[in-house]
Structure 1
Amino acid sequence: MRRKLMGGLIAATLTFALAACGSPPANSGAPAPTPTSDAATPAGSTEDGRIKPANVRIPKISAESTLVEAGLDNNKSIVVPPVDQPMQAAWYKYSQVPGDAGPSILLGHVDGNKKPGIFYKLHELKVGDEIFVKRKDGKELRFVTTRTEQVPKEQLPEQAIYGETPESELRLITCGGVFDKAAHSYKDNVIVYAKLAA
């Protein structure tokens, strides 16, 4: 029941979250997403005792960030990190925790305020590249990239992103492609898939 609930929450909200990733130029006048009390909590484990992720590190693209929790706002949309903090990555708290069976979803901006974001070079990851996630208990997990894809936002492969998997996996997601000035958003999403290394 819990896994079905998680999948439903992700399905209902993920498209909006990915549409909001990336950012318009600093002088565009578009408002940054506003975090809520659901966006980050200091506790080291979830209500059911799962150990939360604390940090993500991707050596190939020299990316490293703490992980804040991305929760839901009053409209049931994912609260992404504000665009004036483009180097901040987030873990979607209704996905799995890294290390447990199923996909754990990490979100990050491609840019913000005319500066590169934490996932600016995410599209460069290839099969076999390493991604490290450190948990609140201090344990670091090593994941290996299995594929990278760029897709139009209206063709987001939701089942591939949030569908159940027998192994612990990651989905790292940011924006990509052409920037749509009218919509204040990029037209595509870049998605990296990775599996926990043995």
Structure 2
Amino acid sequence: MDIRRTGIIILVVAGLAAAIISAGRFHQPVSEPMPLGAATGVRVGYPTAVAPARPARPLTISIPAINVAARVEYVRTDRQGNMDVPADADNAAWFEPGYLPGATGNAVIAGHYDKADGSPAAFYRLSGLVPGDIAEVSDENGAVRKFQVVRVESFDSAEFPLDDVFGPADTINLNLITCSGTWNAAAKNYSRRTVVFTRLIPE
């Protein structure tokens, strides 16, 4: 899968970096709330709230509805400025310069549609997902987050909506991408991209 990423540097620097600086949504430490009663030394009888696990780099993704259980590689952009692809066609790939799954914004995980011999790759059945289906992502901190499919769309590869898929957002999203359409042997590329838009299910 080869996602045309014209203008990706502008997106990453101007879009994602602006979100990081203004909102601190990546790895910036979050101040811990003072435990109830700590200021007075008086012990109170209310249970202590457990803060959600901080987002970390993804390790695996599973999508039960289409029998996906894949390791997640980390990729950036290739020499042409496109999002790179996983080295192993049975794996998925997280776009490392972007958002972490579980952080506010559009995290992106992509996968191959098929292999060089034409056999199915990790995201071969991605277009078969429907709203309500679930994707689960485990991370380096041991957390497992569930994302629910909101919608599934197909885009011409030359008209890919970069900002909608990779850019800032007010919600915690995970967008899954693979190739679709027809194969262009000369360009060694598929004509379309399938994007599954998902949103975090709160714990």
TM-score (norm 1): 0.73
In structure 2, runs of 5+ residues without a counterpart are 1-7, 16-25, 30-54
Residue 65 of structure 2 is aligned to residue 60 of structure 1: yes
RMSD, aligned α-carbons:
2.5
Report the more deviating stretch, 46-55 or 61-70. 46-55
Task: Decide which of 104, 108, 111 is 2:107's aligned counterpart.
Answer: 104
Residue 143 of structure 2 is aligned to residue 148 of structure 1: no
Residue 109 (structure 1) shift: 0.3
Residue 167 (structure 1) shift: 1.6
Residue 9 (structure 1) shift: 2.5
Contact 1:69 1:91 in 2 (8 A): yes
Structure 2 CA distance for partners of 1:77 and 1:151, relative to 1, 3 Å: closer
Alignment partner, residue 95 of structure 2 = 92
**Counterparts of 1:161 and 1:117, CA distance in 2:** 22
**Counterparts of 2:76 and 2:163, CA distance in 1:** 20
Alignment partner, residue 170 of structure 1 = 174
Identity %: 26
Report the more deviating stretch, 162-171 or 139-148. 162-171
Deviations along 1:47-67, one digit per CA (max 9) or x if unpaired, are 767511111000000011111
TM-score (norm 2): 0.71
Task: Decide which of 9, 13, 24 is 2:12's aligned counterpart.
Answer: 9
Report the more deviating stretch, 159-168 or 105-114. 159-168
SS class of match (2:164): helix
Contact 2:11 2:167 in 1 (8 A): no
Q: Which amino acid aligns with 2:167?
A: G
Alignment partner, residue 20 of structure 1 = none
Alignment partner, residue 32 of structure 1 = none
In structure 1, runs of 5+ residues without a counterpart are 13-45
Q: Which amino acid aligns with 1:69?
A: Y
**Counterparts of 1:193 and 1:139, CA distance in 2:** 21
Alignment partner, residue 157 of structure 1 = 161
**Counterparts of 1:10 and 1:60, CA distance in 2:** 36
